Chains A and B, each alone.
Chain A
């Protein structure tokens, strides 16, 4: 793998993750370009979160290489993590801390300590100035997402990882989050997100990878994937109202059976 290749912010190659006899991720390979919004799609248990956890350094893998901004996540984990901003699927902070204290904690551990006034400015930007002294658990789902996203980007990372960021959000909050994700890209940063929403993938992702049974089975722009597969009988069979969507392609590629 060309570590010096400066086109990519993230390179995953030959990634293999197993839990005992169960192979969660099998020889996964993909790259994320600088300034790109890349979606990782797949049914439940397909290997999305395991792949993301390996990139985040939360799980060790024996085979494969992951390079974040030129840093190998296993050889230089702290350097790799310093280049990333992460929003986990279910974010939890110490319930005793208020929003200002949480932001002080994370700005400090990312090496960009902020004063209370600076934090109030940040909260004003996300319309949460009244929530400064509230505990994280007292915020609504949308407000929690906004705080989590601010924390994920507090150190101006070159790669932002978002694990199912819009789950449980109402349409207004979801649209607002999409705008924030696009704003991250406009600043020149790349975003890797996982989602179950094909609408979201079509709306915000420049390219997507569909992962199933631990393998990447398709990778392209949403429109190219639709164009490439629109005439396949499996896609036509699952399409509704005569229009082929990304969801039709996704179901045709991964099967109609409901996953556990």
Chain B
């Protein structure tokens, strides 16, 4: 009797369904990812006339993307690896890439939900509107921005096996990006930090997003920022995938 391996599409859809169920059972992680950007938009209402709508929206989306990549993806991968959930899947006829592609697809859906939510809150509460082109370009750039933080998460789980250390590292990174990023880009931490933040994963993603909201202002610096972001994705994901182990032993 010939051995029949399941169709990759069936396997992928099944994994995706289970990952969706897992994600939405994990309400705390979803709420944190979506709530912080909304709180920023609401609390910054009075400052929006000075800083501009794109600045507020891009900051909110950037912080949401960080939460999705660092808190959502990274912590779930680390937990499932430690509990042996991946090992159970890998003894089935499932290609390793399908397991990861399903996880990443879920995070891409979260990125879309986050971006949409920020646009809705920005419009309803802060009366921020963009051109149709701006909305569409922002969705596309949000995926690239999300990829920066997902790949950073992959780097963390690739380099660190212990789930508690991964947990602490992602939280620290998230906190550092918010604090140093937000204060640094305003110049509160000095010109050198401001320059560093500008080209950091925080600054480049935020700049890219802000530019995509006003496509007419897209310039060479924005294009350079896109290339820098792509560079981050390639380097972080490359090292993270190369060093990734499916179990913690």
Q: Which residues of A approach B to under 8 Å, CB–CB? A: 56-58, 69-71, 78-79, 81-84, 86, 88, 90-97, 101, 104-106, 108-111, 113
Contacts and interface: CB of A to CB of B under 8 A. Distances in A.
A71 B187 CA distance: 63
A109 B94 CA distance: 7
Given A82-B93, A111-B93, A92 B3 contact: no
A62 to B, nearest CB: 18
Contacts, number: 92
Given A93-B85, A110-B93, 13 more contacts: A78-B95, A81-B91, A84-B91, A92-B83, A96-B26, A101-B21, A104-B17, A104-B18, A105-B17, A109-B94, A111-B4, A111-B6, A113-B10
A49 to B, nearest CB: 10
Interface residues of B, number: 31
20 contacts: A57-B90, A86-B91, A88-B87, A88-B91, A91-B88, A94-B80, A94-B85, A96-B25, A96-B26, A97-B18, A104-B14, A105-B17, A108-B11, A108-B13, A109-B14, A110-B92, A111-B5, A111-B6, A111-B7, A113-B14
B22 A96 contact: yes
A94 B21 CA distance: 10
A97 B22 contact: yes
Contacts of A69: 3
A164 to B, nearest CB: 14
Contacts of A86: 91-92
A83 B3 contact: yes
B171 to A, nearest CB: 21
B163 to A, nearest CB: 13
B4 A82 contact: yes
A57 B96 CA distance: 12
B89 interface: yes
A54 to B, nearest CB: 12
6 A-B pairs with the lowest CB-CB distances in the bound complex, closest first: A111-B6, A108-B14, A96-B25, A86-B91, A82-B93, A92-B83
B17 to A, nearest CB: 7
**Residue of B26, B88, B90 with most chain A CB atoms under a 10 A cut-off:** B88
B15 interface: yes
**Residue of A56, A57, A95, A109 with most chain B CB atoms under a 10 A cut-off:** A109
Contacts of A111: 4-7, 10-11, 93
A257 B80 CA distance: 36
Interface string B71-108: 00000000010011101111111110000000000000
A101 B87 contact: no
A79 B5 CA distance: 6
Contacts of B93: 78-79, 81-82, 109-111
Interface in B147-206: none
Interface string B1-38: 00111110011011101100110011000000000000
Contacts of A108: 6, 10-11, 13-15, 17
Contacts of B15: 105, 108-109
Contacts of B246: 58
A93 B91 CA distance: 13
B5 A78 contact: yes
Nearest to A148: B88
A110 B93 CA distance: 7
B89 A109 contact: yes
A88 B10 CA distance: 24
Nearest to A95: B83
A83 B15 CA distance: 20
B3 A71 contact: yes
Nearest to B19: A94
A213 to B, nearest CB: 20
A69 B4 CA distance: 12
Given A97-B18, A101-B18, A106 B92 contact: yes
B116 to A, nearest CB: 24
Interface in B128-145: none
A90 B90 contact: no
Given A82-B5, A108-B14, A111-B7, A96 B21 contact: yes
